[in-house]
Amino acid sequence: MSRLVSAKEMLTKARDGKYAVAQININNLEWTKAAVLTAQELNSPIILGVSEGAGKYMTGFKTVTAMTSAMLDELNITVPVALHLDHGTYEGAKKCIEAGFSSIMFDGSHYPIDENVEKTTELVKICNEKGLSLEAEVGSIGGEEDGVIGNGECADPDECKRIADLGVTMLAAGIGNIHGKYPENWPGLSFETLAAVKDKVGDMPLVLHGGTGIPEDQIKKAISLGVAKINVNTECQWAFQEATRKYIEAGKDKEGKGFDPRKLLAPGFEAIKATVKEKLTLFGSVNKA
Ligand code: 13P
């Protein structure tokens, strides 16, 4: 029996309790272990995000499910953990459902709205039957992810309502957020759009992508306006990179058994843990497991 859970309950609680659950994107064993151990230490729920590219890197979605599921058992993780496809294609969503993911994002934001509605409708039915949570997207999130570049659009609140009414678990609506580094001249999140979307979709938990580099006050305001899930990817990668660079620049890989991957990857692992801890604390999910 897998310990992986749907994200539905954790998001409903987050929405009601006015905090957000972090989605931390994973790339390998170290990332996964860092994320779940930190969540357990802080008694917080967590969502592990897997992009299609990361899934491929880890040799396929089945490997990801098997590794994560076994890890939760071996580490005796008792806080709620969801394994979630990030920005899935229609085909990718089906593969992840088959592979045992507990949560799916279908990103139909690049389709005309009618096609997004049609494909999302089908996935709502499948996910409901299997007890999985489903995230949909309206208004593409800017920046680059797996080679897809968006412009940081603001979603149309009426289109958000159309998708929310299909019965998805959570909705990602573009509010000027982008993946990766924010440019110097970024005008900030559009709280006007967020409020207008919230007004149309009512109780639907909203998802904020591009969590890296959004100032703390904007994160807090977004949560107060209905955001219940925030995705973070790039910031963990930067933390890992910086710590690994320092280790090598200090020549530690040349000292004794410093070349051993278990030693070489340790500073990066600790840096991911510290970043995850910072996010869970900022988002308010500590002790909400
Ligand atoms: P960042 O890489 O900007 O943190 O965005 C992560 C994300 O939104 C994944 O879907």
Complete domains list, the chain, with CATH: 8-234+275-283 (3.20.20.70)
Interatomic CA distance for residues 198 and 210, integer angstroms:
19
Please give the pLDDT value at position 31: 98
Residue for token digits 């929405």?
Answer: 15
Q: pLDDT tens digits for 54-107?
A: 999 999 999 999 999 999 999 999 999 999 999 999 999 999 999 999 999 999
Please give the pLDDT value at position 149: 54
Please give the pLDDT value at position 34: 98
Interatomic CA distance for residues 202 and 198, integer angstroms:
6
CA–CA–CA angle 195, 143, 186 (5° rounding): 60
Half-sphere exposure of 73 (CA within 13 A, CB side): 9
3-class state of residue 222 by DSSP: helix
Pick the catalytic residue from 73, 86, 158, 203: 86
Please give the pLDDT value at position 6: 98
Please give the pLDDT value at position 171: 98
Q: Clarify whether 86 is annotated catalytic.
A: yes
Pocket test for ligand 1, best of 145, 148, 186, 238 (most atoms within 8 A of CB): 145
Interatomic CA distance for residues 276 and 52, integer angstroms:
22
**Can you list the positions of beta strands (E) in the chain?**
21-25, 46-51, 81-88, 103-106, 133-138, 143-145, 148-150, 170-173, 206-208, 227-232
pLDDT tens per residue across all 289 residues of the chain: 789 999 999 999 999 999 999 999 999 999 999 999 999 999 999 999 999 999 999 999 999 999 999 999 999 999 999 999 999 999 999 999 999 999 999 999 889 999 999 999 999 999 999 999 999 999 877 776 555 555 678 999 999 999 999 999 999 999 999 999 988 889 999 999 999 999 999 999 999 999 999 999 999 999 999 999 999 999 999 999 999 999 999 999 999 999 999 999 999 999 999 999 999 999 999 999 9
Please give the pLDDT value at position 148: 56
The pTM of this model reads: 0.96
Q: Please state at what angle helix 61-74 crosses helix 29-41, rounded to 10 degrees.
A: 40
232 Cα–ligand 1 center, Å: 5
Amino acid at 208: L
118 Cα–ligand 1 center, Å: 26
Give yes or no for a contact between 235 and 271, defined as CB atoms under 8 angstroms apart: no
State the sign of the Cα–Cα–Cα–Cα dihedral 269, 270, 275, 276.
positive
Please give the pLDDT value at position 45: 98
Strand partners, 154: 175
Interatomic CA distance for residues 13 and 145, integer angstroms:
29
283 Cα–ligand 1 center, Å: 15
Closest ligand 1 atom to 235 CA: 4
- Six-digit token pair at 129? 């039957």
Residue for token digits 């991911």?
Answer: 272
Instruction: With residue 157 as reference, give the H or E element that holds it.
Output: helix 157-164
| Count of Cβ atoms closer than 10 Å to residue 246 Cβ | 13
Interatomic CA distance for residues 153 and 139, integer angstroms:
6
Please give the pLDDT value at position 190: 96
Give yes or no for a contact between 172 and 137, defined as CB atoms under 8 angstroms apart: yes
Residue for token digits 């530690």?
Answer: 252
Give yes or no for a contact between 171 and 193, defined as CB atoms under 8 angstroms apart: no
Please give the pLDDT value at position 247: 98
